Amino acid sequence: MKQFLNEIIDCIEYMKSYDFEMLNKKKDIVNRYFVEMNERDQNESLDLLKGNGLESILIMSYLLQIIRKPIIQTKIEEILLEEELPASNVLNILFQMNSYLFRSPIETEKKVHYERQRVIFQNQVEKMKKEIMCNIEYIPYFKRSTKKIMIMCRTFLSESHAPTAKIVNICRYFKKLGYETFILCTYMGNIEEEYWNQWYDSQIENCKYISAGKIHVDYFGESIDGYVIYFSFENFYRETEVALEIIKEYNPEFVLEVGGDNIFSCLAESFTTVCSMACVKTPPLTTVRYVARYFRYTEEEDRKFRECLTNEQIVLEMEHIDELSVSNANKIHKKSDYGINENTFVILIAGNRLDYEVSDDVRKMLDDIMKMESNVMVAFVGKCERLEKQMQSGAFSSRYKFIGQVEDFMGIMKIGNIYLNPPRQGGGTGAYYAAANELPIITLPNCDVTQVGERFVCDKLEDMPRIVDRYIHDHDFMESQKKYCRERTKKLYKVDNVGNVEKFVNVLKQNIIKNEK
């Protein structure tokens, strides 16, 4: 224990001086000393690091990323429960931790962590209620604008951003039902930037807009109106009041919050109906009564989803798929367009967070594939400048192609032979597009991609090189998987989007009226 704690003392000094080079050098030895301890000593040593508020969080965030054990996540959650920190700090820490775990999942008991985080979230709701000067009375259902729906989100980007595309598709379905929609984007990127030194290797959300105010865009031919609020530490509570006043003035039939982890929607539930929906298969982090979901669930997946919620929370189904997507039907993408020989076997990896999702373990696995197969290239689609820099020094750097962001996300799939999904919770949109282009998929379990087809799932990362080898050399296997792509695409896209959204609205309306009696 002593050796581990001595190393941590050194790391704290390096953090104070922002000496990231030394912190990187310390990773292996810190991890080794921790692993060498028994479970009791591990727990005691981590408890000794608690009690210093944000400094404790900073060192725990460093340990989470190098030790990658559930106990570190637990200790961070305990600090947020036990120590008094400003709400904006707590919300940023939750976002940073869950963003990291989203792009680099670790095996953990999700129910326990979800329940603990919901309590943390509820504590922040109560804390903020005491601070804000916004005492809005509950608006009964029949006094609301019943043909208006407000959609809340943390960020609103471009057509190629999957959550943004999801929102636009939902707006389209509501519009077909005669509804007007309005986007309220509660952007926390400024706070994330202000607090960058409170979390090791922190992330800042992107935003299309440089300042707060009204927005209007035309995406996929759909006209979208809304408002963006830029939250800051200095004016956090005043900006919260502005958000709530906007919701009150718009007076929607209900608020649909897309993405989860949006405390402002939880505050709005005191005067209107709010329904929260995640963009992944797991429940959204929220305290609101109504929880929507659009995926299909097996019996076991449904059980795990519901066991995370309280007895008061109600699950509402809104199964749909995106009809609108970025695709240029007239554009035929070829490998040679991107400097790749047409006979080369291309592994496609796509996403908006590849800088974080393509970990050291993933890069090692890809190098193992390169050692096995001389006629293979990996094409990365999406902005990932840090990853590109990391790959430049490797022995196989010339066989990694960085295409960057593309407008025609569905069309770019045509240059690949297979689609590889790195360990992460998301990736479902890319997998849908891959299957639609008859591009077989390789993915680990416990993520959104698995719903595209169970025959694409492998048990562990180390299995992927062997599966790639089979795709290259076993023609019958490749053809059978392409056929499976066609079968799954036909089934997945056979959804009554508008009809299902209408059912969701009707069930929610019935619940609202029943609850008001």
Round the CA-based radius of gyration of the chain to a whole number and report it. Answer: 24
User: At CA 383, angle to CA 378 and CA 388, rounded to 5?
Assistant: 55
pLDDT confidence of 317, banded at 50, 70, 90? very high
pLDDT confidence of 55, banded at 50, 70, 90? very high
pLDDT confidence of 161, banded at 50, 70, 90? confident
| All residues at 6 or more sequence positions from 17 whose CB lies less than 8 Å from its CB, including other chains | none
The pair of structure tokens assigned to 194 is 């202000």
The answer on pLDDT for 328 being more than 70 is: no
Beta-bridge partners for 350: 381
pLDDT confidence of 330, banded at 50, 70, 90? low
Q: What percent of the chain has pLDDT over 90?
A: 77
Q: How far apart are CA 286 and CA 274, in angstroms?
A: 10
pLDDT tens readout for residues 349-377: 998 889 889 988 999 999 999 999 999 99
Contact between 263 and 91 under an 8 Å Cβ cutoff? The reply is yes
pLDDT tens readout for residues 484-515: 999 999 888 889 999 999 999 999 999 999 99
User: According to the model, what pLDDT value does residue 426 have?
Assistant: 80
Pick the CATH number of 335-492 from 3.40.30.10, 2.30.30.100, 3.40.50.170, 3.40.50.2000: 3.40.50.2000
Class of domain 141-320+497-516: alpha beta
Q: How far apart are CA 416 and CA 130, in angstroms?
A: 54
pLDDT confidence of 329, banded at 50, 70, 90? low
pLDDT tens readout for residues 165-177: 999 999 999 999 9
- 335-492 shares the fold of 141-320+497-516: yes
Q: Distance of CA 196 to CAs 11, 104, 142, 202, Å?
A: 17, 19, 45, 6
pLDDT tens readout for residues 267-297: 999 999 999 999 999 999 999 999 999 998 9
User: According to the model, what pLDDT value does residue 326 have?
Assistant: 62
Interhelix angle 110-131/236-250, rounded to 10 degrees, is: 90
**Sole residue written with tokens 């603990």:** 116
Mean per-residue pLDDT for 381-392?
Answer: 90
The answer on pLDDT for 482 being more than 90 is: yes
pLDDT tens readout for residues 200-233: 999 999 888 878 899 999 999 999 999 999 999 9
* Predicted TM-score of the model (pTM): 0.85
HSE on the CB side for 341, CA within 13 Å?
A: 9
Q: What percent of the chain has pLDDT over 70?
A: 99
What is the residue-averaged pLDDT of the chain?
93
Mean per-residue pLDDT for 452-479?
Answer: 95
pLDDT tens readout for residues 249-263: 999 999 999 999 999
Task: Indicate the domain borders of the chain.
Answer: 2-105+112-131, 141-320+497-516, 335-492
User: According to the model, what pLDDT value does residue 133 have?
Assistant: 81
Other CB atoms within 10 Å distance of the CB of residue 332: 9
